[in-house]
Structure 1
Amino acid sequence: MAAVHQDIEALLSQSVQEGLLDDQFLQLIQLQDDSNPDFVSEVVELYFEDSASKIDTLEQRLREAAPSYSQVDALVHQFKGSSASFGAHTMAGLCVQLRDACHAHNQPACQALVTQLRASFAVLKGRLEQFMALEAQRKQLGGR
């Protein structure tokens, strides 16, 4: 049990040091308790679904010959907010850069940033899948 706890702590610490996650995610973890034992995994799953959908939509809109930068910017603004609230530090930072590129109507820069968002999301998703697997082990062992 102590080993699983240590693995979770090490994974989270590494993720914060690398800038993938920030204190906001650590605060989300604190909200999980016996009355809502699946809170974190539910929030993580929602973030996965929402993020994948937003990235797909951004890619589609930015492939258009004349993208609607106001629509792209509105979507990126939502994505930045959800990423910041979730604690996905790198993702939120990329969204800030993407909004700047939208405001400049710089389609190649926007497309490059969406590619970076997709790659960063893949790294974050992999890390959070490790976290959720460790959390499942912790629960099986009866720990909090």
Structure 2
Amino acid sequence: MDRAAAVAAVEQHIQALLTQSVQEGLLDDQFLQLIQLQDDSNPDFVSEVVELYFEDSATKIDTLEARLREPAPNYGQVDALVHQFKGSSASFGAHTMAALCVQLRDACHAHNQPACQALVAQLRESCAVLKTRLEQFMSLENQRKQLSGGR
């Protein structure tokens, strides 16, 4: 297989992975727009945004779990953190994560600790699934760059 055919095959795989992720609701058009912002002047833009999102997500989930383990959680603080998480997830294009945050905010408003804890567990699981999918995407993107001569 020549280089052009190899690049085309990797690009097709990337497109299939993104299409599947959108169809499953993991990602939405916002993530696809982030990809469009990457260019030759900032070739690592998407990988940097992905890395920052997951670092931030892990910290927020850990903090939420800790606060919701308290005997009498401060739902105002929990809600404020979930509101931030929902915003960053929506801006990133993490559709499932943002939707779970909406449900978690509703549970916070109801002061329903068991529901909040269950939703944070779902957030952790969804985050892990999304991270695995985006690691596949980044691996394919790196292959594409190498085959394209670094572009």
User: Shorter-chain-normalised TM-score: which range?
Assistant: over 0.9
Corresponding residue to 1:56 among 62, 65, 68: 62
Deviation at 1:109, TM superposition (A): 0.2
Pairing 1:109–2:122 present: no
Instruction: Say which one has the larger Rg.
Output: 2
TM-score under structure 1 length normalisation: 0.99
In the alignment, the residues of structure 1 paired with residue 38 and residue 26 of structure 2 have an alpha-carbon distance, to the nearest angstrom, of: 21
Partner in structure 1 of residue 33 of structure 2: 27
SS in 1 for 2:40: coil
Partner in structure 2 of residue 94 of structure 1: 100
SS in 1 for 2:27: coil
Quote the sequence identity (%): 88
TM-score under structure 2 length normalisation: 0.94
Kindly provide the amino acid, as one letter, of the partner of residue 56 in structure 1. D
Partner in structure 2 of residue 82 of structure 1: 88
In the alignment, the residues of structure 2 paired with residue 35 and residue 109 of structure 1 have an alpha-carbon distance, to the nearest angstrom, of: 45
In the alignment, the residues of structure 2 paired with residue 60 and residue 6 of structure 1 have an alpha-carbon distance, to the nearest angstrom, of: 42
Pairing 1:43–2:54 present: no
Deviation at 1:142, TM superposition (A): 1.3
Residue by residue over 1:41-88, the C-alpha shift from the partner in whole angstroms, topping out at 9 and shown as x without a partner, is: 000000010001100000000000000000000000000000000000
Partner in structure 2 of residue 130 of structure 1: 136
In the alignment, the residues of structure 2 paired with residue 111 and residue 80 of structure 1 have an alpha-carbon distance, to the nearest angstrom, of: 16
Partner in structure 1 of residue 3 of structure 2: none
| Deviant stretches of 4+, over 2 Å | none
Deviation at 1:24, TM superposition (A): 0.1
Pairing 1:118–2:124 present: yes
Pairing 1:9–2:28 present: no
Residue by residue over 1:72-123, the C-alpha shift from the partner in whole angstroms, topping out at 9 and shown as x without a partner, is: 0000000000000000000000000000000000000000000000000000
Aligned-CA RMSD value: 0.8
Unaligned runs of 5+ in 1: none
Number of matched residues? 144
In the alignment, the residues of structure 2 paired with residue 135 and residue 51 of structure 1 have an alpha-carbon distance, to the nearest angstrom, of: 22
Unaligned runs of 5+ in 2: 1-6
SS in 1 for 2:148: coil
In the alignment, the residues of structure 1 paired with residue 21 and residue 58 of structure 2 have an alpha-carbon distance, to the nearest angstrom, of: 20
